[in-house]
Every structure is written in C-alpha cells, then in structure tokens.
Structure 1
Amino acid sequence: MTEQAPIAAYIDHTLLKPEASEAEILKVCAEAAEYHFKSVCVNPVWVKTVHRALRGTGVLTCSVIGFPLGATNTDVKVFEARGATLDGADEIDMVINIAAARALDKGALVEDISAVAEAVHAGDAILKVIIETSLLTDEAKVLACQAAVEAGADFVKTSTGFNGGGATVEDVALMRATVGPDIGVKASGGVRSLADAQAMIDAGATRIGASSGIAIVNGGTGSTSY
C-alpha cells in the first residue's frame, strides 16, 4: 500500500475455480464494484458475463490464457487471447511455456510471449505473463522475466496458484530487480492478508492477485481458494 493508492486498487479479485457458478461470478463482480478493486479475474468462459456486470463500475475485466499449465501451443494461446479481448477482457494473464523456461530456452519463450502480446495489444488490452515461480530456479525466473520484457509484456506475474507454491517476497523482489521500474509485477498465489499484500508491495509488486481481496482490505485473513 502506498500514499498514491489504497490497497484495493492493487487487487485483481480472482475466481478461477473450474466449478464456479454464474451466481458466484456475479457475486465476485458485485464485491469488486463495492470495494473498488482493480479488476475481476476469471476463466475465459466468464469474460462476457463479467464485462457486462462491471460496465460503468470502473473495475476492469481480466482473464487467463493457457491456464494453468502453459503447455498449449502458441497459436492456441493467441486464439484464446483474441477471443477473450473480443469478449471484453481489458487484461490477459498468460502462462508461459514452463518447460522452455526450465530448459533456459529464451528464444522459445520470446516467440511464445510475443505472439500473444501482439494479439492482446491489438485488442487494446494489457498482457501479464505468469512465469510460475514455484517450478523454476532463480536463473530460470530471471530468464523468463527477461523474455517477457523483450517480448513486449506489460507485467510479469509470479504464479497461477494451481501448480505448487505461490508468491514469495523473495521472488517478487527478484522479478522487480530483473524487469526494472517500468514493467508491472503481479504477486499471486497465497496472498491472503493485508500483511501479505503489504509485504509484496514493499518488495516491488504493483498488482496483487487474490481470492481473498475482501479479507485483505478488511485486515483479516482469507482462504487459499481460487
């Protein structure tokens, strides 16, 4: 939290459970409007619903691509991203080719990310790149962040929350040091309290992905559900 913005303005209010119902999605939208969160982040099937529900609220619509494994072909990610932006997504969080990152294949990462970035930016949306820190060495984390910057991403993001551990202060600090001051850093996965969120922001995060946004704003501790 900084003097420039309240904590709610950092939060992508998130519901990515595959079994989420329309009623649950609409509830999250209503909460986001009430608390003035930055966005509501949902699976692509819900983008139209969320975009309609948030119209006029100032809250953005965010969706995920290649989620949660990142193991789909680049052209499939591009197709997904175009569809989501056409449906009304303002922001896209894509998962990288994690195997390429682990193999330190920067060229493959740049190719994957840049194709999606082109599609996302053509839809007047911004791209956040999920590197899935829990599955990478520090060397691979740095390389993945460098690839995201080179490919034209707007943010790097720690985690999906579905593949092991989530965000850590150490990873956020490493990512910030790697991308510099002009690229966003999103901490996601396991951020459940105001103290958690503040620690991530102090380490360099400019966005927080959380299903516990209300608990964070109210100073409590939320669950780990997505």
Structure 2
Amino acid sequence: MEDLASYIDQTLLAANATQKEIENLCAEAKQYKFYAVCVNSGNLKIARKYLDDSAVLIAATIGFPLGASSTKSKITEAETAILDGADEIDMVMNLGFFKDEKYEFVGSEIESIKKAIGSKILKVIIETCYLTDKEIGIASEIVMNAGADFVKTSTGFGSRGASLKDVKIMKGVVGDKVKIKASGGIRDAETAREYISLGVKRIGTSSGIKIIS
C-alpha cells in the first residue's frame, strides 16, 4: 500500500472547499505518505503551512478547470503559485484553441508557463473526454515538444475522467520522454494498479485513502 501511496496526488479542488477541509487533506497526506496534494492556487498558503514539516509536495492548478483564461493570466497565476509555495503546477491546455488547430499557440503557451516556473514540475491537462483518439495523440505530442514534465488526462470536471484507452494512446506517443498522470474516476486499488501497469507515474484522486486501504 505504501507503494501505491507514492503514486497518489490526493486532490481537493471543489469550489466550496473550506480551510478545515484543506487542513484535513494535508493531514491525511502526511499520515498516509501520499506523494502530493493538489489544490486550487488560492488554497496554497493553507496547504504550505500544514505541509512545511513533511515530504509531501504541493501541486497547484492553473487556468482551472476550463483552460480558457489568457496566457498572461496563466503565467501570473503560475508565478504567484510558486511564490506561495507550490512545488508543482497542473495547468489546463487551451482546449478551444486546440480544437481550432491553433497548435503553435497551444504549444507556445505551455512553453511560456514552463519557462515561468523554472525547475518546478509542470503537468498539462489535455482533458481527454473532449478529444478524439487522434486529438489525444496530437495533444500529447504538443505537450511533449513544449517541454512539460507530465501530460495529464483530466480535470475531473469534464464529462468523464481518465480511461485506460486514453493512457495507451498517450503512452504510445510520449513513450518515456514525458510522464503521464491519470486523474478522474480512479477510486480503488485494482484500477490504480491497472493504470500503473500501463506506465502511469502519478494518479490524481480524491479517493487516495480508499485506494490504499
């Protein structure tokens, strides 16, 4: 179970998440030795306060959950998140521009955010539920070529979360050049292990305790 815990980004991204709930999230992450917690950027200072004495990392969402905010605002949010204590950034790709095949813009935006956060880990959410199989492959390639560290399946706010098929397509494109994070709908150990067997390096879930229990 400790092995599974090392893959988990324990997540709380609800719009109505309270300070007490964020504190509980952090306490659970420390107790069960999860790899990281994932929170909205406005909750970073709370999380940082409760995780300063632990090895648990903090990931902050950027342009979440739609990905449609301006590049300037995403960069500012990412830079502020790092200053507020984020170890990693989970950004949402501009899905509308991607659908319009503005691939150069999409890639450039990712590059800009990676440059803004320096050596910190960047995960790019491509929201696979809105993409065809072909588009999942194209998006994964854009993320890889833009210098991100992870390509991530889902926000958890779309029409569905991750699927094994999505991950197989992503892995077929990025190989070992970029890591994969699967998120959305992963709620038990058996499912988590299926994703890990496909090469997933991180699992985003609000069910971390259930998975390792």
**Partners of 2:100 and 2:176 in 1: how far apart?**
27
**1:196 to partner: Cα distance:** 1.3
Ranges in structure 2 where 5+ consecutive residues have no aligned partner: none
- Partner of residue 141 from structure 2, selected from 143, 146, 149: 146
What letter corresponds to residue 215 of structure 1 in structure 2? K
- Checking the alignment, whether the CA contact within 8 Å between 1:104 and 1:143 is kept in structure 2 is no
What letter corresponds to residue 142 of structure 1 in structure 2? G
Cα offsets for 1:21-79 (capped at 9, x unmatched): 00000001000000000001000011111112111210001110000000001111000
Cα offsets for 1:74-109 (capped at 9, x unmatched): 111000000000000000000001012223332121
Q: Name the stretch that deviates more: 103-112 or 146-155.
A: 103-112
Q: Which runs of 4+ in 1 moved over 6 A?
A: none
Q: Residue 62 of structure 2 aligns with which residue?
A: 65
Q: Residue 42 of structure 1 aligns with which residue?
A: 39
- The 5 Å alignment of 1:69-84 reads 69-84=66-81
- The alignment's C-alpha RMSD in Å is 1.2
- Partner of residue 177 from structure 2, selected from 182, 196, 199: 182
- Checking the alignment, whether the CA contact within 8 Å between 1:9 and 1:38 is kept in structure 2 is yes
- Partner of residue 93 from structure 1, selected from 83, 90, 95: 90
Identity %: 46
> Is 1:132 aligned to 2:127, yes or no?
yes
**Partners of 2:5 and 2:135 in 1: how far apart?**
31
State the secondary structure of the residue aligned to 1:6: helix
The number of equivalent residue pairs is 213
Q: Normalising to structure 2: TM-score of the pair?
A: 0.97
Ranges in structure 1 where 5+ consecutive residues have no aligned partner: 219-226
State the secondary structure of the residue aligned to 2:110: helix
Q: Name the stretch that deviates more: 96-105 or 166-175.
A: 96-105
Q: Normalising to structure 1: TM-score of the pair?
A: 0.92
